[in-house]
Chains A and B, each alone.
Chain A
Amino acid sequence: MPVGGTSVGSYTLHSVNCDRCDNEATVHEVTISDGQVLEIHLCEVCAQETGIVSSSPAPVEEILKKIAAGKVAAETAPASPACRACGTTFAQFKQSGRLGCPECYIAMEQQLGPILDRAHQGAVHHVGKVPKRMMAQGGDAPGLVDREIALAAAEARAEQIRRLRADLASAVHAEQYEQAAQIRDRLQLLQRGGATGQASGVEPTEGSS
């Protein structure tokens, strides 16, 4: 990390070589120091070596979350992932029109997306009644509910982080560094909140996706 300067954050840029090797740079850091703009472009390996992007020390949590979200299953069995709770496959669902259990909504999240979209005119989030038990959640609810809450909160946060990162990249591109600094502050605040709060680690790692 540059010392004595103000880092306005990392962003994604295309077709720039790494400052340390010839690989394509996927991490780009812009620093403003004494009115001078310093840009660093690194590949993922060099970025991790220099500490600009820390490698995830414990990806287990993220993997578990991916499994919970059915993403791993979707990646390894693209045709028809089976719900790990009941074994229902997407092909079976397509045939019967019915899912096997509540967990299927997580296991087949990606495939169900367009179906929900069509059935509910593009709506993707529940609006309306919530069980009273959920409202007064004391931690004794069943596992699915707990995980769903964590996932929903994490999803919302990750989406916000994604949006802020895109805004940051645009601001840096447009050389609007004051605005970029503001976005960076908001980003940091959000990330700090995530670190002290729940379900950190689901936001996409820069340059790794």
Chain B
Amino acid sequence: MSAPGEPNGADDDTTPNGHDGALPEELFAKGTEWLRGSGDSADVVLSSRARIARNLAGQLFVHRAAPTDLRLVLEACRDVLTSANLGTQSTWLNLHESPAFERSLLLERHLVSAHFAKGKLGSERKSNDWPRAVAFGLPDERCAVMVNEEDHLRLQVIRSGLALREAWAEADAIDDRIESGLDYAFSPRLGYLTACPTNVGTGVRFSVMLHLPGLRMAGEIDKVKHAAADMSLAVRGFYGEGSEAFGDFYQLSNQTTLGKSEEQLLGELNDKILPEVIEYERQSRQRLLSKRRWQLEDTVHRAIGVLRHARLLGVEETMKLISVVRLGVCLDICSGLDTPSLHRLMLLVQPTHLQQAVGKSLGQDERKRERARVVRERFAAM
């Protein structure tokens, strides 16, 4: 299952009443930057992300370190990060002290990774009390830093639309501010030293969240995946590593971090590869419109019909339907709807956000019922 927060097993304690109120109220009042639905090529690119992996010099990497070492890392990072201008305001949350519900909310908002939220570091011995934290900026949650994830610091900056250069510029500046207060593990030969050698060098991953329904409907999505693999790019799902694509949303990112500068990587991905993929998707959409317009309109309006009237909706089905409607909005074949509203709905229908909105813990069947109700209400208001 690719949805991050569908409670099962250890995550069954996800209840909106279980947290201690440490999460700021603003978190639910505003949409996050990645859902804004604007920016360059926003018809195809939901968001752009620059992620930087860093470790502290002279410290054991996270999976090898004892809890006492990790607490020292947290302390060292806390002061630096809270004054690193991650936003108008900065928030710091100790995840090892947070309830599962709260961690799951952060995951659904793309502020933390799945294993960071769940307290699992791959197959390692870490448990949920492994000392770790996330710092992020408000109000738009554009910048976030996970402390004691696979690396001591995982900084991400997200921008709406195709804006990898802007995301990198901001991440680079924050990285400089952090570095002025902390010593990074760095080798002139190998660059920034990371727990996994696949990140060594720049420690940077650029990724974009793409919406590719046109290519999927045209049966060309596998071609894109193969081409991406040939260019050493990774294709992942909506919630990153280990998740599957649902609703035709795919994350595309660089895999090589050694031997290419950040500028070279940007030049390849932002200036060469992505414009081609975007154009490819747009052409597929236009072909659908010109050759199979009625089928396409039917598909889009059926999706709207289901979303407006269904009484039970699973998260995966909802995402697929919203994806089809989003395509219709981008191609102007349905009126009265807009992409930012659809994006907010995509977040709202996630299991934990849904329970947060309803204000109580829900079983799987109840969630389907409540999800359908919330979607109906939202569509009625659009």
Contacts and interface: CB of A to CB of B under 8 A. Distances in A.
B184 A126 contact: no
B59 A115 contact: no
Contacts of A88: 64
Given A128-B201, A132-B179, A101 B61 contact: yes
A127 B186 contact: no
A134 B180 CA distance: 11
B132 to A, nearest CB: 15
Interface in B207-259: 232, 255-259
B208 to A, nearest CB: 20
A53 to B, nearest CB: 29
B172 interface: yes
Given A97-B196, A115-B197, A120-B259, A134 B188 contact: yes
A130 B256 contact: no
Given A115-B197, A128-B260, A145 B64 contact: no
A134 B186 contact: yes
Interface string B257-273: 11111111000000000
Contact of B188 (A116, A130, A143): A130
Given A123-B258, A126-B258, A102 B55 contact: yes
B187 A123 contact: no
A151 interface: yes
Contacts of A105: 187, 190, 193, 197, 200
SS class, residues of chain B in contact with chain A: loop
Contacts of B172: 129
Interface in A97-130: 97-102, 105, 112, 115-116, 119-130
A131 B184 contact: yes
A156 to B, nearest CB: 9
B122 A132 contact: no
Contacts of A142: 57-58, 183
A98 B186 contact: no
Please tell me the size bucket of the interface on B: 35 or more
Contact of B57 (A98, A99, A130, A145): A145
A155 interface: yes
B61 A98 contact: yes
Contact of A145 (B60, B179, B186, B258): B186
Contact of B150 (A98, A119, A133): A98
Nearest to B56: A102
A129 B262 contact: yes
A148 interface: yes
Contacts of A58: none
B264 A131 contact: no
A130 B186 contact: yes
Interface of B: 55, 57-61, 63-64, 122-124, 150, 172, 175-176, 179-180, 183-193, 195-198, 200-202, 204, 232, 255-264
Interface of A: 86, 88, 96-102, 105, 112, 115-116, 119-134, 141-145, 148-149, 151-152, 155
29 contacts: A96-B63, A96-B122, A97-B122, A98-B124, A98-B195, A99-B196, A102-B55, A102-B57, A102-B58, A102-B187, A105-B200, A115-B197, A116-B200, A119-B255, A120-B198, A120-B201, A120-B257, A124-B189, A126-B189, A126-B190, A127-B201, A128-B260, A129-B175, A131-B179, A132-B176, A141-B183, A142-B57, A144-B57, A149-B188
Q: 3 closest Cβ contacts across the A-B interface?
A: A123-B259, A126-B191, A102-B185
Given A98-B150, A119-B197, A128-B263, 18 more contacts: A105-B193, A112-B197, A116-B197, A116-B200, A120-B259, A122-B259, A123-B258, A123-B260, A125-B190, A126-B188, A126-B192, A128-B191, A128-B264, A142-B183, A144-B185, A145-B186, A151-B189, A152-B189
